[in-house]
Each structure stands twice: as C-alpha cells, then as structure tokens.
C-alpha cells in the first residue's frame, strides 16, 4: 500500500489511490484527466477492453455511426482540441470516433493510468476505513477513497437466450462485441435479429455485400434519413468560428443535439404546413431533428405524435415496392422510442437479396446448427447470424459487478425495484461513489451530459477536499425526490407508453422502470449549479473518522 499525496485537502491514510475509475470511454477518460491532471490526485483506472474507446471500441460493426452530428459529438472543454477536431462528414463514424478518443488519450497521456484487459469484479465500501476495496479479475486488490464508475449505459450486451443458440455451427456475433478482425460477408447467407438503431445501420450497410440477407424483425421501426454527407468548407469554417456559441446553446438546450428545439405545437399550423415541415426535416435528415426540431409536442401530445408517425408511414409506402413487405415494415404504435435515422433502411428491402421475416407473426422457434427455424416450419439457412438485439441498458454493467455500499447492501438489491440515484451520479448508502450516466441521468446527446456530470462531481471532490472533508454521501430524501421528479416528467411524455430500452422494457424479466431524466440538459445543469452554489444541501459531507 502506498501513502497518499493528494495536493490539497483531506486524504484518507492507507489508501492505495485517491480514486479508482472504471471505464475508458468518454466518461472514464475525462474523469482521469480531471482528477489526475487538474487536481493532482493519485488515480488508477481499469477497462476490460484492450484499449480506450468504450462503446466505440466494442461496436465496430459495419455502418456503426453516431447519429449525433459530428460538431457536437465530442468534448467541449478544450478549445485547442476543438480547433483541431477533424470535421469531415456531417456524422462521425465508429472508426473516426475511436480515433478521436485514442488521440484524446494520447493528448493527455491517459493510458499510463489504465490497466486494460482488466475487469473490475467487485467494489465494496468499508465503513471503518471509509475506503472502497476494489478487486479485479486478475485477483488484484486495491483501495481508494473515491470510486468513479464510467461503465457505459449502452454497454452490457443483450444476447437473448433463444433455444438452440449454442448449437449454431456458423458464425454468431453480437453487434456490441464485434470481432476486431472484421467479418467477411461476401456471398454469405446472413441473418440479422433486431431492427433498432444498430439493426437498421448494420442491415443497410451489409446488404450490398452479402449473398442473401434475412432480417428477423420483432417490431417495425419509425426511421427517417440521416443524410450523411461531407461537410462543406464553409460549414467547417462556421463551426470552428462559433464554438463558444455552439456549446452555450447545446448546454442550455433540451436534447443537446446542436439545434434549437421547436416551440411550435403541431396543431398550431395547417395540415399542409405540417407536411411541409416534416418533408423539410426528412430532407435535412436526423432522427432527433425530426422529433424535436419540427414541432414542440411530438413527444408529448398523441395527435402531434400521430402526425409525425403518419408522415413516416406514408414514406414507407412510397419507398418500399412490395406492398406485403411495406405492410410488415410499417409501425402502428406510438413514435416514442429513441428516434432513429438511417442511410436507406426501407429501400434496402427492395433488393432481391434481402428478405424480411416478421417474428411477431411468425416467431423464432429455435436456432439450429444451420440456421433459424420459425414457427411456420421454415428453416432459414445461414452462414452468419448477427444479433443486433441491443443492451441491458443503464444498470446492466452495474449489476454484473459486486458493488456493495453501507451494510454490505449490493447495488443490485438496492435497485430491485428499479435503479435510482440523485442526479444520475450518486446514491445514498454508497459514499464517495460517483456514477457517470447512472440511472436517471439526462436523456440527451451524451458527451455534453458526461462532461457536465464529471465537471460537477470532480468539483465537489475538490470543494470538499479543500474543506478537509473526506466522505461525501447523498441523503436518501434527495434520491427519493429525484426518482419522483424523473417519474413525473416521464409521465408527462409519451416515452413510457412505448416499449424500449429507455424504460428497461427490452429485457425479459426486467422490471420496467424510469431510467432517465427527461427534463433536458439546460434544466439539469441548473440543478447541479444550484446544488453546488448552495453548499451541497442534499449531501452529508464528513471528515474521514
Ligand atoms: P462507454 O463508452 O460505454 O464505456 C464504458 C467502458 O467501461 C467500456 O469500455 C466497458 O467495457 C467498460 N467496463 C464496464 N464494466 C467494466 C468492468 N466491470 N471492469 C472494467 N471495465 C468495465 N450517444 C450519443 O449521444 N449519440 C449517438 O449518436 C450515440 N450513438 C451510439 C451508437 C451505438 C452503436 C452505441 C452502442 C451507443 C451510442 N451512443 C450514442 C451512446 C454512447 O454509449 C455514449 O455516447 C458514450 O459513448 C458513452 O460513454 P461512456 O464513457 O459513458 O461509456
Ligand atoms: P434496441 O434499440 O434495443 O433494439 C434491439 C432490437 O432487437 C429491437 O428491434 C428488438 O425488438 C430486437 N430484439 C431484442 N430481443 C429480441 C428477440 N429475443 N427476438 C427478436 N428480436 C429481438 O438496441 P440497439 O442496439 O439497436 O440500439 C440501442 C441504442 O444504442 C440506440 O438507441 C443508440 O443510442 C445506440 P423489439 O423492438 O424489442 O421488439
């Protein structure tokens, strides 16, 4: 065990590190920089991946793309980095994001703090020493005063336990754990299960390459064009010249996607004008733009929602040539999942080498050594089976670690009725543990929310250390109150009425729960600021012993 040399304030004698950070995605990397480089703390970090990147290390399937526009899918704090940021296309692809995060790690020499290929298996708070005891899958044990979990909210993959899955003799892949050597699809018979954001991307990307593609669709999707294209020189110049204003707008906005949300209710304009607005958004591209830049009430008012949905349904009937396929692809439920956008998804079904199986009407019975058998008795023969079946979102990685707070309470037991937190970052009974994008964090373009959370809790660490305080714990009433706030806001929207990962409805047996704060980033930042300016009234902050 080493001694502690924190530059300022309280340290807990006997800890190996001031802070242990788990995760090398946007969140973990930024935290290491903040605590280690800005505050001089002694930090250790882990990721089970072989290098930095987080989500963008694992999700390297063909077509993987951020649907946040490039100019706001990154860090905002470093003005020099912003000017050097390669602005190539309107949206940034997985290889480009991975490169960006790797160069961020180089810029701040972050890798030296990490042990890669190392999974944290348990983290337990010792009430006597007030330290976190962290154990890895290599059997190493470390102690630290602070524990930061940047485990990712779309990171624990969901591989459905379909009968016979282990017998498949071809190649079986989940998009969230894509082989780093890539996959050669040339001429192969490929099946894809899942038509969410990931499914639509991978289906559209591989269709031209494969011999035959069979898509197993459980729920049809509303999706609009992404309109990927190179940025013009003028656009790049404008972005670079206006970063201050851009980030100010993003941080004060609702969904933080780099555009102003509409303030006009759909019913305020004529049907013709509504169609014109939807058509213009369709041409411009972007799922969040379509849902939030067109009208102010698509996510909250059933009639406005239906207008937006009906427009997409009309597009499907115009794009897809075979009426039977068009009917299968057409959703009739609410337009209230995370809004999707694509690079020609519906038109992909006009290809001769693509077929669609509606597995709600014709369920999958089993996976055989040679393919997928559906209830109608057909065996769809396959060489490769791709699971684009999403994630055990938000708390999925938390419950895989034996995290215990006070009274040895495991976080998965604390969350048995649904995960909770205060402000998406802290929980009562788990002192000095800070979650990045924990349950009930903001539902936004995520890098600005990550930056907001990390800035806030690292400032709290700095403030309390300066006062000689060592133990930070949120009050239970604050956690309960935050859950109520998140529920109240969610129930004002249509999102809880649609079955998706946003409310944990995608995992069989998982309790449907509110998992996000839908009040917008601007309002969220206001609450964090109030908490800090008020001297952290919702926390008990104490000396070590
Ligand atoms: P992650 O990037 O998920 O990193 C978490 C890391 O922690 C992972 O490397 C994981 O392996 C590691 N880890 C977890 N548990 C352990 C453990 N026990 N021990 C050691 N290491 C562990 N967001 C947007 O805002 N806009 C988008 O357009 C967008 N597109 C996306 C597209 C895809 C395909 C996916 C999967 C996600 C997308 N997201 C998008 C969400 C994306 O996850 C976030 O934007 C962001 O990358 C999250 O960063 P993070 O650091 O919080 O977590
Ligand atoms: P999603 O959005 O959860 O989509 C998963 C898809 O897989 C969806 O179409 C599911 O159908 C389908 N699914 C899941 N389990 C099964 C089974 N057992 N059988 C058939 N089909 C199944 O995950 P994504 O990865 O696409 O996107 C998640 C987020 O990551 C996305 O919003 C981006 O932010 C990045 P369902 O709709 O549940 O009927």
Q: Is the CB of 25 under 6 A from ligand 2?
A: no
* Among 186, 127, 134, 163, CA closest to 20: 134
Domain ranges of the chain: 2-156+393-542, 189-387
- Ligand with minimal distance to 388 CA: 2
| CATH of range 2-156+393-542; options 3.50.50.60, 3.20.20.70, 3.40.50.300, 3.40.47.10 | 3.50.50.60
From 342, 390, 509, give the residue whose CB has the most ligand 2 atoms within 8 Å, as the site to mutate: 390
Q: Is the CB of 160 under 6 A from ligand 2?
A: yes
Full-model pTM = 0.96
List, for residues 214-252, the tens digit of each pLDDT value.
999 999 999 999 999 999 999 999 999 999 999 999 999
Q: Is the CB of 506 under 6 A from ligand 1?
A: no
Span from the CA of 59 to the centroid of ligand 1 (angstroms)? 9
* Among 136, 97, 132, 101, CA closest to 117: 136
Q: Is the pLDDT of residue 545 over 70?
A: no
The answer to whether 521 and 449 are in contact (CB under 8 A) is yes
List, for residues 130-181, the tens digit of each pLDDT value.
999 999 999 999 999 999 999 999 999 999 999 999 999 999 999 999 999 9
The answer to whether 328 and 220 are in contact (CB under 8 A) is yes
Residue owning the nearest CA to atom 27 of ligand 2: 197
- Which band of pLDDT confidence, cut at 50, 70 and 90, is reported for residue 11? low
Predicted pLDDT at 146: 98
Q: Is the pLDDT of residue 10 over 60?
A: no
Mean pLDDT of 263-288: 98
- Ligand with minimal distance to 391 CA: 2
- Ligand with minimal distance to 451 CA: 1
Span from the CA of 151 to the centroid of ligand 1 (angstroms)? 7
Q: Is the CB of 368 under 6 A from ligand 1?
A: no
Q: CA–CA separation, 313 vs 231, rounded Å?
A: 30
Q: CA–CA separation, 340 vs 201, rounded Å?
A: 10
Span from the CA of 454 to the centroid of ligand 2 (angstroms)? 29
- Ligand with minimal distance to 221 CA: 2
Q: Is the CB of 390 under 6 A from ligand 1?
A: no
Q: Is the pLDDT of residue 383 over 70?
A: yes
Residue owning the nearest CA to atom 4 of ligand 1: 54
Q: Is the CB of 47 under 6 A from ligand 1?
A: yes
The answer to whether 30 and 47 are in contact (CB under 8 A) is no
CA distances to 2, 29, 125 from 142, rounded to whole Å, are: 10, 20, 12
Mean pLDDT of 76-93: 94
β-strand 141-149 against 171-174: which pairing, if any? unpaired
Residue owning the nearest CA to atom 29 of ligand 1: 66
Q: How far apart are the first and last CA of the chain?
A: 20
* Among 110, 525, 168, CA closest to 367: 168
């Amino acid at each position: 065990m080493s001694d502690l040399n924190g530059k300022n304030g309280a340290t807990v004698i006997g800890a190996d590190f001031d802070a242990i950070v788990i995760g090398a995605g946007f969140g973990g990397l930024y935290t290491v920089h903040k605590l280690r480089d800005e505050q001089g703390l002694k930090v250790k970090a882990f990721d089970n991946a072989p290098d930095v990147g987080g989500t963008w290390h694992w999700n390297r399937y063909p077509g993987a793309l951020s649907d946040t526009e490039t100019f706001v899918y990154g860090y905002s704090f470093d003005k020099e980095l912003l000017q050097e940021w390669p602005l190539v296309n309107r949206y940034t692809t997985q290889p480009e994001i991975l490169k960006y995060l790797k160069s961020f790690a180089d810029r701040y020499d972050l890798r030296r703090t990490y042990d890669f290929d190392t999974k944290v298996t348990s983290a337990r708070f010792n009430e006597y020493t007030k330290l976190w005891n962290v154990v890895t899958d290599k059997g190493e044990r470390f102690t630290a005063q602070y524990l930061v979990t940047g485990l990712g909210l779309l990171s624990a993959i969901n591989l459905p336990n379909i009968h016979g899955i282990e017998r498949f003799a071809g190649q079986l892949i989940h998009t969230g754990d894509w082989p780093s050597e890539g996959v050669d699809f040339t001429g192969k018979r490929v099946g894809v299960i899942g038509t969410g954001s990931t499914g639509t991307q991978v289906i559209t990307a591989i269709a031209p390459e494969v011999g035959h593609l069979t898509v197993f669709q459980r729920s049809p999707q509303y999706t609009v064009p992404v309109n990927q294209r190179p940025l013009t020189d003028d656009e790049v110049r404008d972005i670079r010249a206006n970063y201050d204003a851009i980030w100010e707008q993003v941080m004060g906005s609702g969904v933080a996607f780099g555009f102003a949300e509409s303030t006009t209710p759909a019913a305020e304009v004529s049907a013709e004008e509504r169609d014109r607005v939807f058509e213009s958004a369709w041409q411009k591209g972007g799922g969040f733009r379509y849902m939030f830049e067109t009208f102010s009430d698509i996510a909250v008012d059933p009639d406005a929602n239906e207008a937006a949905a009906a427009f997409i349904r009309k597009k499907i009937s115009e794009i897809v040539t075979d009426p039977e396929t068009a009917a299968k692809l057409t959703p009739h439920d609410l337009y209230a999942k995370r809004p999707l956008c694509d690079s020609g998804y519906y038109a992909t079904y006009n290809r001769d080498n693509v077929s669609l199986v509606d597995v709600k009407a014709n369920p999958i019975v089993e996976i055989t050594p040679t393919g997928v058998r559906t209830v109608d008795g057909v065996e769809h023969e396959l060489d490769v089976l791709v699971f684009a079946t999403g994630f055990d979102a938000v708390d999925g990685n938390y419950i895989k670690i034996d995290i215990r707070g006070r009274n040895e309470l495991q976080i998965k037991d604390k969350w048995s009725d649904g995960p909770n937190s205060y402000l998406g970052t802290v929980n009562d009974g788990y002192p000095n543990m800070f979650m990045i994008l924990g349950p009930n964090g903001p539902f936004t373009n995520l890098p600005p929310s990550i930056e907001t959370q990390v800035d806030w809790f690292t400032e709290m660490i700095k403030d309390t250390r300066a006062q000689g305080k060592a133990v930070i714990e949120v009050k239970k009433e604050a956690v309960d109150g935050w859950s109520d706030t998140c529920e109240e806001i969610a129930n004002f929207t249509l999102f809880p009425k649609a079955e998706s990962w946003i409310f944990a409805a995608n995992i069989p047996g998982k309790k449907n729960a509110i998992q996000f704060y839908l009040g917008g980033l601007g309002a969220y930042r206001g609450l964090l600021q109030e908490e800090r300016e008020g001297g952290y009234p919702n926390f008990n902050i104490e000396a070590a012993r």
